[in-house]
Each structure stands twice: as structure tokens, then as C-alpha cells.
Amino acid sequence: MIYLDNAATTKMFEGALGQYQKFACDLFYNPSAFYREGRLVRAELDNARKSLLEKLGAKEGTVIFTGGATESNNLAIMGSKRNGKWEYVFSNGEHPSVFNVAKELERQGAIVHFVPLQASGEVDYDKLEEIVCEKTRLVSVMHVSNETGAVNDIARIKKIISKKSKALLHVDGVQAFNKIMFDISKLGVDLYTISAHKFHGPKGVGALYVKDVKVLKNIVFGGGQENDLRSGTENVAGIMAMKWASEHIDVEKNFENAIKLKNIMTETLKQDDNFKIIESFSPYIMSVSYAGVNGETLARALQDEGVLVSTGSACSTKKAGNRILESMGMKKEDVKSSIRISFNAYMSADEVKKAGEIILQCAKKIKNLEL
């Protein structure tokens, strides 16, 4: 089986699994307990927080541990909501865990703006500048598109915001953290979402970087853990596994290897002119379409041949069409024909080349059958 759906989830490192077992079975104590064992676990959590801040390049702020990216995004958006005639701005390219929160804000009566995408998949910076105003409370734009690998210029977005308002900037960094090089202290971000299972950690754990905890209010009520922003006993085992995975990723080395893998796939698929490939900066994700072949049909055929790809976000598989590709102005037939291929940096060149050849063969076979 060749797994090419790493944007959906990644295989957990064995070392991370070892950490999970250690803190689930041996050092299983509640970090809020007063006795020594509990305090020792609390110290480990604090070290994990510092480790993630260092990996982000943060010179200030803190990390709030959550149950994953969806919760982090909800906390960032709903936690920053305030009464009054504030406006909220989102890109049309956001993951459902942001986009659907934006729609809920709208349903609750807030003024919500959606910024269109460029053909490249990036947000339309000029339109963003037109929309942001003094009444803007929050702008939320993802770092790397989970659909296409397009990378938004976060520093540029921060400059646009700063010209016209004091709005907070939230970034969904799920497909960026531990995959592309960046220094969060230079981006001007107020809130930044990460998810462990996207970088070989466990599912069900994530974090929200918060530059200043005063800008948020809790949306879950309870014992007051995590700066009173995320009540509930912390998932210590998951957090420590996430820490281990993060610390054992060489972002620059992996980035270079991912480029090689993506180039191999690109060169293989370009042997057939029917393949269209969306150019993107992130080497981990590519969106391709084969003229006249339904993407879902191709994905199912590939599964039978031992290659796993997707037709888009795993969180949107029950919905028809593709909101993000459509927002980029893609033709309906290309959207319908698209599949998403996503790599991890530890794949071999041989298996990627083999997968590319199988994709070619399956697409041609389906095309011939439909003629």
C-alpha cells in the first residue's frame, strides 16, 4: 500500500508512541494534583509548552493545549468574539473547522466577510485590503492550503491589517507547522493553530499559540486548566507524544526531500498531457486533475491498485463539489476530475515514482473505458 493522503493524517512515529505509552501507563498522574507525582507531570507539560514555542520561533506568548485543530480554531474565533458591531474576515479557502465557524458567527448575527481566492489558491490580498476596516475584530487566513498547498503570505496580511485596524490575526497553521520554514515572531500572528496528527503525532491533540491570553475568553467552562481557556484534564500522553514528534522533525531537511518527491510525481504525471497540475509552494500537497476522468472514480480505482489518495479534505468528503477549487475559478469539469496527492518526507523516491505510474495507468484505463 502506498499512502498519498498525508494531508489527512500521518502515521505516528514509534518514538512518539513510546512517549504516549510512558505517560499513559507509567507517569499517568493528573497534572493538577497537589502531590509530587502530579507536580512532576505538570513540569513535563510546561516543558512541552516551551518546546512548541521554541519550534514556532515565538519570543512571547503561550501555547494552549487542545483536543485538536478543530477545537483550537473554534477557541481562536469564538473566544475572540466580542459584543458590539464588530466585523470578522475569513478567506474562502479555509478548512471546514474555520469556514463553518465563520458561518455560525454569521448565523448568530455577526457581520462576516469572505475574501475570494486568486487562481493560485492564495487569498486575494487586494480584496482583503478593501474589506478590512476599523470595525474588524478578527481576520482568519490559513497558512498553507490543505487542498492545493498554496501558501499565503502571512506577513503581508499582517501589514494589510495593521494599516487599517487593530484586528487580531488568526492563522490555521495545520499544514505549515513542522513542514515549512517560518518564524512566528516575524509574522505578527496573534493566534496560530497546530495539530499533532499532521506531523506524525497522535490524533485528538493539538494546540493554539496565543500571543496575549487577554484577547481570548473561554468557550468551555470547568476547572480552569490552560490559563482558564481550555478546562478539562490535559491529555498528557498525547501532548508528550506531540512534543516528541515535533522535536524529532528536521523541517529544512524534510522540506528538501518533499520537493524531490513532488518533482518525481510531477515529472511522472506530465508524461500525459491530460494531467493538469496546480502549481503550489508547499511540496507536501498537490492537486491534479485528469481531463474527462471523475476524480472520485480515479481515487477508488487507485485504492484497488494499492494507492491511497483523496478528492480533497477528509472533513468534506460527504459534500459535493469542492468549495476551495471552485473559489479559485477552476472549471467545473476540472474540479470534478481533481484528486489530492499529499506526501510525507519519509517516503522513498521509488514508491512515489511507482505510485505516479499507477495513477497514470488507472487514469488512462478509465478514460478509455468511458470513450
Summarised one tens digit per residue, pLDDT across range 352-361 is 999 999 999 9
Average pLDDT over residues 292-308: 96
Question: Do 350 and 260 reside in the same domain of the chain?
Answer: yes
Q: Rounded to the nearest 5°, which phi and psi values hold at 145? A: -70, 130
pLDDT of residue 84: 87
Both 313 and 331 in one domain: the answer is yes
pLDDT at 319: 55
> Given pLDDT bands bounded at 50, 70 and 90, which one contains residue 368?
confident
Q: Look at residue 321 and tell me whether its pLDDT is greater than 80.
A: no
- Which amino acids are annotated catalytic? 315
pLDDT at 317 over 70: no
Instruction: Determine the average pLDDT of the residues in 87-104.
Output: 97
| Residue 343 belongs to domain with CATH number | 3.90.1150.10
Question: Does residue 82 register a pLDDT over 80?
Answer: yes
Euclidean distance between CA atoms 225 and 233, whole angstroms = 7
pLDDT digits (tens, 9 = 90+) for 28-60: 999 999 999 999 999 999 999 999 999 999 999
Q: pLDDT for 210-247, tens place per residue?
A: 999 999 999 999 999 999 999 999 999 999 999 999 99
366 SS3 class = helix
Band of pLDDT at residue 65, cut at 50, 70 and 90: very high
Count of the separate structural domains present in the chain: 2
* pLDDT attached to residue 370: 63
Q: Region 249-278: what's the mean pLDDT? A: 96
Residue 65 cell numbers, joined: 493545549
**Residue-averaged pLDDT of the chain:** 95
Domain at 234, CATH number: 3.40.640.10
Residue whose C-alpha cell reads 499565503 in the numeric block: 152
Task: Please name the residues in contact with 318: beta carbons below 8 A apart, sequence gap of 6 or more.
Answer: none
How far, rounded to the nearest angstrom, does the alpha carbon of residue 79 sit from its chain's CA centroid?
20
Same-domain check for residues 158 and 37: yes
* End residue of a domain, out of 247, 271, 302: 247
Residues 146 and 268 in one domain: no
Domain shared by 77 and 110, yes or no: yes
- 96 lies in the same domain as 207: yes
The residues, any chain, with a CB within 8 Å of residue 116's CB and separated by 6 or more, are 92, 123, 124, 127, 327
Laid out side by side, the sheet with 275-277 consists of 275-277, 285-290, 338-342
Query: What is the pLDDT confidence band of residue 313, given thresholds at 50, 70 and 90?
Result: low
- pLDDT at residue 318 in the model: 52
Rg (CA), the chain: 21
Please tell me whether residues 36 and 182 are part of one structural domain.
yes
Are 87 and 46 found together in one domain? Answer: yes
Same domain, residue pair 243 and 255: no
The number of CA neighbours under 13 Å toward the Cβ of 48 is 29
Tell whether the model's pLDDT for residue 315 goes beyond 60.
no
pLDDT at residue 232, as a whole number: 95
Which residues, in sequence order, are CB contacts of 150 under 8 Å at separation 6+? Answer: 93, 117, 120, 121, 122, 144, 278, 280, 281, 282
Query: What does the pLDDT read at residue 89?
Result: 98
What is the DSSP-derived secondary structure letter of residue 213? Answer: G
Residue ending a domain, among 231, 247, 263, is 247
177 and 301 inside one domain? no
- Among the three residues 247, 264, 285, which one is the final residue of a domain in this structure? 247
**Boundaries of domain holding 74:** 14-247
The grid coordinates of residue 82 equal 466580542
Distance CA 141, CA 348 (A): 33
More confident residue, 168 or 334: 168
Task: Please report which confidence band the pLDDT of residue 351 belongs to, taking 50, 70 and 90 as the band edges.
Answer: very high
pLDDT in tens, 112-159: 999 999 999 999 999 999 999 999 999 999 999 999 999 999 999 999
For residue 29, give the amino acid letter.
Y
Reported as a pLDDT band with limits 50, 70 and 90, residue 178 is very high
Q: What is the mean pLDDT of residues 241-269?
A: 98
Phi, psi torsion values for 82, nearest 5 degrees: -135, 155
Tell me the whole-structure pTM to 2 decimals.
0.95
Per-residue CA distances from 9 to 47, 174, 331 (Å): 25, 11, 28
Amino acid letter for position 131:
I
pLDDT at 280: 84
What pLDDT does 369 receive?
Answer: 76
Residue type, 369: L
